[in-house]
Structure 1
């Protein structure tokens, strides 16, 4: 059985647009300047149901996994590995960590594990359709030739 596809952070509402904006203005992704950029809070609330500041105030459960502890101190490469273990792709199309990852790591972890916040609904992909009609047609042709 195949593994389910990882969800992508960049596909959540507003994240891709804000990531592009952070490319043009790198200070947007600076955790120390988050108060100067209310659009980060708006995107976080739309994507996770809580802002980075609200996420920082949420007490972590006792059974919180080690790879998700102290997300703010981990390097972006370590964050990528931690979220891949949780089923999330937090990279861009070139497989580099998103610039906004340090800001969104805790809200994403809390929402993905159901501790606080929510994630947007994503429908399961449709099952691939089989072309059983063509095989029936071929079988009928072989039957008529007999």
Structure 2
């Protein structure tokens, strides 16, 4: 899979930013067992990845699985960045809700289970490239 130069941000996926705000106001949202109390966590997970954290627990990991999904969140942040994903908040700390979505994201990234959300290609030209192209054309024109 080709890695994009700009990492995809977990917090930009549908419903994640809202859940982060709720977890800020009510820290119980970030607890491991909060999905039983707050069904919107599982709803967001299913909508984004096609499976919930509980369903991800039941997925059989392939031989050689490194159990990255069980490592501390701070360790996962760097591993996600290597895969082209930013799973931090504005303060560069792991998202409060990361524990509810990290398994599903790892499984989908590695093609084991679930799916990654579709992101359309950016059709807008890069302003730096178009600006450079204009300057190059003007330079060639002016040199004549």
Structure 1 residue ranges without an equivalent (≥5): none
Q: Cα 1:136–1:114, aligned 2, differ >3 Å: closer, same or farther?
A: same
Task: Measure the CA separation in 1 of the matches of 2:99 and 2:142.
Answer: 62
- Equivalent pair of 1:14/1:46 in contact (CA under 8 Å): no
Q: Cα 1:13–1:139, aligned 2, differ >3 Å: closer, same or farther?
A: same
Task: Measure the CA separation in 2 of the matches of 1:109 and 1:9.
Answer: 12
2:50 corresponds to: 49
Superposed CA deviations along residues 43-65 of structure 1, whole A, max 9, x for unmatched, are 1111111111111111111132x
The structure with more radius of gyration: 1
Q: How does 1:1-146 map onto structure 2 within 5 Å? A: 4-64=5-65, 66=66, 69=67, 71-72=69-70, 74-125=71-122, 128=126, 129-131=129-131, 132-143=133-144
Task: Measure the CA separation in 2 of the matches of 1:26 and 1:90.
Answer: 18
The CA deviation at 1:142 is 3.9
In the superposition, the TM-score normalised over structure 2's length comes to 0.82
Task: Measure the CA separation in 2 of the matches of 1:105 and 1:133.
Answer: 44
Deviates more, 1:40-49 or 1:116-125: 116-125
Task: Measure the CA separation in 2 of the matches of 1:93 and 1:12.
Answer: 15
> What is the aligned length?
138
